[in-house]
Amino acid sequence: MKDTSFRSEASRLGARAVGVAVLLAACVAQAARPYRGGAVATAYPQASAAALEMLDKGGNSVDAAVAAAFVGSVVGMYNSGIGGGGFALVHDGKTGETKVLDFREVAPKAATRDMYVKDGQVVPGLSTDGVLSVAVPGAVAGYLQLLKEHGKLPPAVVLAPAINLARKGFWVTPRYQTAVKGRLECLRKDAEASRVFLVKNEQGVPDVPPLGYLLKQPDLARTLSAMAKSGPRAFYAGPVAKAMVDTVQAGGGILTLEDLATYKTRPRPALEGSYRGHRILTMPPPSAGGVAVLQVLGALEKLRPQGLAFRDPDALHLYVEAVRRAYVDRTKFLGDPDFSDVPTARLVSPGHIADLAGSIDPKKATPSASLLAPVAGAKGSTLPQQPAPPPVPAPEKKNTTHVSVIDKDGNAVAMTTTVNYGFGSCVVAKGTGVLLNDEMDDFSAQPGVPNAYGLVTGEPNSIQPGKVPQSSMSPTLVFSKEDPRRVMLAVGSPGGSTIPTTVIQVISHVVDSGMDLTRAVGEGRVHHQYLPDELWVDRWGLEPATLSTLEAKGHKLRRVEQWGDAEAVFSDPKTNLRYSASDPRNEGVALGQD
């Protein structure tokens, strides 16, 4: 029972918790081994196991990725889920074609440009906590469309692992506890979220479940079962849809049945570039992440044609300066291309990338304030000269997840999904188990004002009904030099504003340094995002001498515990062996077929 005291519950389930830890360690230890069949990497052991089960049943990479995503909705709902949305790149190993699907959330029809502004100021928390932060979810439409168009197995088979886990429960892990601690007060404000995700402590107050607690979600199991039987309409119409709308509107939110019934996914053309002879496909706008990936890699190739030595302070300086400029472009130009004139082709063109590279001083950092310019389309307003730096979001609050799969036939999926902030809006639709997103915070509540991740965006990302908010998610495929139709690397990560830089660094580690995949995803990280004007360095990272040299060049360092959760799979062009790696910073597991 959920009212059981912490002490007795922890004692009863302690052995299970130890078992979970042993299982995680054993799985991570196997991450570097080669596989002759398919390979998968996800943020959760149960999701990787479900993906591998689909491959063993004769399914392909899409079946595996969708099964993993639905399982993630159950065991990692704080990261992503059926109340959220995402992006996917799907590569057909036989035809060489790559399809891109945008199933991000959109602003409800009643959304307004200044809905989070009062007396000229953004109201803190209004776009991140509670019902007014909820955008129209797209995950269910996206997952099931991918399955219908590209999968081989029926929905009942693909959703079965998620349904079973929701019904029978999963054991609470340290990662779950950390996520809950980061959003505990928000979760306590919603009675249904408290009932589902928390347990009552000895004082009778909803609190963090103990390690090894068996968390069951029977309402979510019923919702998933309905979708396995009836498809997306079980979510976007009928009792589940009504429960979502009733819950949101009861609290003063604006989601309607019409918003749900009219939701549509959006196929997009892949954003294409190259790096040192490797073709790269990534996510186009409304992702700002894909643009940054291509811009930074392109600039590095011009500035360091011999390759980037990651621990060389001179090379790192060039990398940071390229990232700084990419985030300036993000601020000025990027948003939903269906609502704004986003100059994507120009931003990733060789000429513009050459201009970015040419503006970098190899000897000293460029102050971000000197790069500030009027926000495109913002009626003459300018970006703030230097907004007060927001606190660096704690790792548990940068909640998104990624799935990477390559199957035995060379089909590949890179899919990143999210509910945005940890546990999304902290609102659960009554009786459904559906945790709703807080994706409205990814819009610019007020152009020039930082969001929860410290990102400053401009007028192209202002709020409009039906609009997709700008995103950092950067699912990416890197192809073999020898065969530009064959995927060599599928990679992605969570981490809010740090997603593009995580993806860039993993690609560079593999291509430039020839690192094995496990080391590439586990290497220390650095990050800059233009504002605040700080170079973030994680604890896994750089030697003191390197840091001192960067400081001497004018970089203001900020040490951060850690960020990101890179998930990657690699197919060796020479041996055809496959490798998978899950970020050692978290609890993910990399698996494959012998």
Active-site amino acid positions: 400
Question: 303 to each of 281, 300, 312, 348, 360, how far by Cα in Å?
Answer: 22, 5, 14, 16, 9
The residue with tokens 């907004």 is 387
114-126 as b/e: b if 16+ CB within 10 A:
ebbbeeeebeeeb
Coil, helix or strand at residue 225: helix
Residue 427 in contact with residue 248, Cβ under 8 Å? yes
Residues near 203 by Cβ (< 8 Å), separated by ≥ 6? none
CA–chain centroid gap for 313, Å, is 29
Residue 327 sits at the vertex; the CA angle it makes with 326 and 333, to the nearest 5 degrees, is 90
Give alpha helix (H) positions in 213-371: 218-230, 233-236, 238-250, 257-261, 289-303, 313-333, 344-347, 350-358
Question: 290 to each of 82, 261, 472, 581, how far by Cα in Å?
Answer: 24, 30, 8, 21
Coil, helix or strand at residue 582: strand
Give alpha helix (H) positions in 76-151: 139-150
Phi, psi (deg, nearest 5) at residue 266: -135, 110
> Distance (Å, rounded) from C-alpha 4 to C-alpha 266?
46
Question: Could you count the other beta carbons within 10 Å of the beta carbon of residue 143?
Answer: 31
> Distance (Å, rounded) from C-alpha 538 to C-alpha 524?
6
Residues near 452 by Cβ (< 8 Å), separated by ≥ 6? 127, 128, 390, 393, 397, 421, 441, 496
Residue 399 in contact with residue 79, Cβ under 8 Å? yes
132: which DSSP letter?
Answer: G
**Which of these, 104, 107, 103, lies nearest to 259 by C-alpha position?**
107
> Distance (Å, rounded) from C-alpha 375 to C-alpha 447?
8
DSSP E strands in 482-577: the ranges are: 487-492, 526-527, 535-538, 557-560, 567-571
**Which of these, 363, 386, 427, lies nearest to 194 by C-alpha position?**
427
> Which helix (H) or strand (E) is 459 found in, with range?
none
Q: Which amino acid makes up residue 537? A: V
Phi, psi (deg, nearest 5) at residue 580: -140, 150
